[in-house]
């Protein structure tokens, strides 16, 4: 029986594997259905960068001397001086993907092209069924680490259209393979985050022909009040720290939900430099009264979309004026974010999982989902509602992986510091609480 099995090999489970690679006290495997590591392949656009510094790699924030650090990758690739002279903390997104692929090829316990199809509870752990090159394999393990990530979220009003015309209406996660050879046909983008901005920028740069005539019309609409930047001040960034994660976890679930509802721009906005670059491009294009050939509209909610006469007809509502309007396009890109969804292979454990009153998993401080089966189930990037805005952040990935690794090992292999922020998120230790039952309430997810 294996000590644990990891399901999914994205950055977070890859971080766990990288931290554990040089330990020999655990027997484990990690499975991934894709043939090789691929991180948001549909948005690996030219000249795009990570929104976090390069230290948010697989290991550095926990173990800077680990051989799987990004700096060691640069050394092995003979790019260390080039990076030094670049003087930029934010690395190309395609290089981050290549770095993770480099690491994955050196870790022996990773199994790509292996799809987990079912998981069942056993008296002393779990049985995991894996489809590998057409053959069904069975494995047993004591613990599970689920790192399958999030799924593209399409608005309800687009789901039928996307299913019927997937080449004309699609999520931004499929943007590059669908649009990299786009030459004609109007394009509309719906959304207000970084993916929407990068899709707009990519198309804007290719919109004009050599004679500066437009090949297509480009629209960008969002339900949000504006095209706002993501919070990126140092004190704002401290919300993506272990200190804030511990503070957030200690709060009653009702308070957590209130905070999350008002923290969108901490992690959902657009990089300020991207906004500036787009604005400068628009300014340069319109010199001398030239047309921009684009339309940007905020506070515009998409109500419906249908395919009619070879075009997509969209109905919007302008939320300030409460007026509806129609827009037609050839292609519709939904940059509408992602949602957490348990993979289908976990269906056999559904009856064992403990849920809160909103149907969400109850997850403890060490990222373990509470359930009635024997064996532990750890989760990566499924704990936004319990641990806060840092759940999907690459900068906290190694820290969370180290917490899980310590739990799997049964001792504190990775020393994790405390109080590493300048601001204090809670009351001083000498203060009195007005609620003596806070800890018992949050433990049950009420």
Binned at pLDDT 50, 70 and 90, residue 202 comes out as: very high
More confident residue, 344 or 442: 344
Show the domains of the chain with their CATH numbers.
2-151+339-409 (3.50.50.60), 159-230+268-334 (3.50.50.60)
Predicted local confidence at residue 41, as pLDDT: 93
Phi, psi of 8 (to 5 degrees): 95, 135
Torsion, Cα 171 380 123 30, to 10 degrees, reads: 80
Structure tokens, 199: 């899709």
Backbone angles phi, psi at 292, to 5 degrees: -85, -30
Span 112-140, pLDDT tens digits: 999 999 999 999 999 999 999 899 999 99
Residue 251's nearest CA partner among 361, 388, 366, 378 is 388
Which of 61, 84, 427 lies closest to 250, judged by CA? 427
Q: How many CA atoms lie within 13 A of 161 on its CB side?
A: 25
* pLDDT tens-digit map of 301-330: 999 999 999 999 999 999 999 999 999 999
Tell me the C-alpha to C-alpha distance, in Å, between residue 309 and each of 3, 187, 312, 313, 333.
58, 16, 8, 9, 19
Q: Specify the 3-state DSSP secondary structure of 402.
A: helix
Cα 40 to chain centroid, rounded: 9
pLDDT at 357 over 90: yes
Between CA 54 and CA 74 the distance in angstroms is: 11
Within 10 Å of residue 132's Cβ, how many Cβ atoms?
A: 14
Query: Mean pLDDT throughout 13-28?
Result: 96
């Amino acid at each position: 029986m294996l000590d644990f099995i990891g399901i999914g090999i994205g950055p977070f489970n890859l971080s766990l594997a990288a931290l554990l690679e040089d330990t020999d006290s655990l027997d484990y495997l990690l499975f991934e259905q894709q043939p090789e590591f691929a991180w948001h392949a549909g948005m690996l656009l030219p000249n795009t960068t990570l929104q976090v510094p390069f230290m948010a790699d697989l290991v550095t924030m926990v173990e800077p001397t680990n051989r799987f650090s990004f700096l060691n990758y640069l050394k092995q690739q003979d790019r260390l001086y080039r990076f030094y002279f670049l003087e930029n903390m934010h690395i190309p997104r395609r290089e981050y993907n290549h770095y993770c692929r480099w690491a994955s090829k050196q870790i022996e316990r990773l199994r790509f092209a292996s799809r987990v199809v079912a998981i069942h509870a056993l008296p002393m752990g779990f049985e995991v069924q894996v489809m590998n090159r057409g053959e069904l394999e069975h494995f047993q393990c004591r613990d599970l680490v689920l790192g399958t990530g999030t799924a593209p979220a399409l608005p309800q009003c687009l789901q039928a259209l996307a299913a019927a015309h997937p080449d004309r209406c699609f999520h931004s996660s499929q943007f590059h393979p669908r649009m990299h050879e786009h030459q004609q046909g109007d394009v509309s983008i719906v959304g207000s985050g970084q993916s929407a901005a990068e899709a707009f920028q990519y198309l804007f740069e290719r919109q004009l022909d050599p004679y500066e005539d437009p090949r297509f019309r480009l629209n960008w609409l969002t339900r949000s009040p504006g095209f706002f930047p993501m919070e990126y001040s140092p004190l704002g960034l401290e919300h993506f720290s272990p200190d804030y994660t511990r503070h957030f976890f200690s709060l009653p679930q009702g308070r957590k939900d209130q905070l999350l509802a008002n923290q969108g721009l901490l992690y959902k906005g657009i990089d300020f430099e991207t906004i500036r670059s787009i604005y400068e491009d628009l300014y340069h294009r319109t010199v001398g009264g030239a047309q921009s050939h684009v339309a940007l509209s905020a506070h515009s909610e998409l109500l419906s979309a249908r395919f009619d006469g070879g075009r997509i007809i969209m109905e919007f509502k302008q939320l300030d004026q409460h007026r509806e309007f129609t827009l037609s396009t050839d292609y519709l890109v939904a940059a509408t974010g992602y949602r957490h969804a348990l993979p289908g292979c976990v269906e056999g454990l559904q009856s064992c999982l403990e849920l809160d009153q909103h149907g969400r998993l109850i997850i403890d401080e060490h990222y373990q989902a509470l359930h009635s089966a024997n064996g532990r189930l750890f989760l990566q990037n499924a704990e936004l509602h319990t641990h806060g805005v840092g759940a999907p952040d690459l900068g906290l990935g190694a820290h969370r992986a180290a917490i899980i690794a310590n739990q799997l090992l049964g001792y504190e292999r990775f020393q994790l510091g405390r109080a590493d922020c300048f601001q204090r998120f809670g009351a001083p230790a000498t203060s009195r609480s007005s609620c003596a039952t806070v800890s018992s309430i949050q433990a049950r997810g009420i």
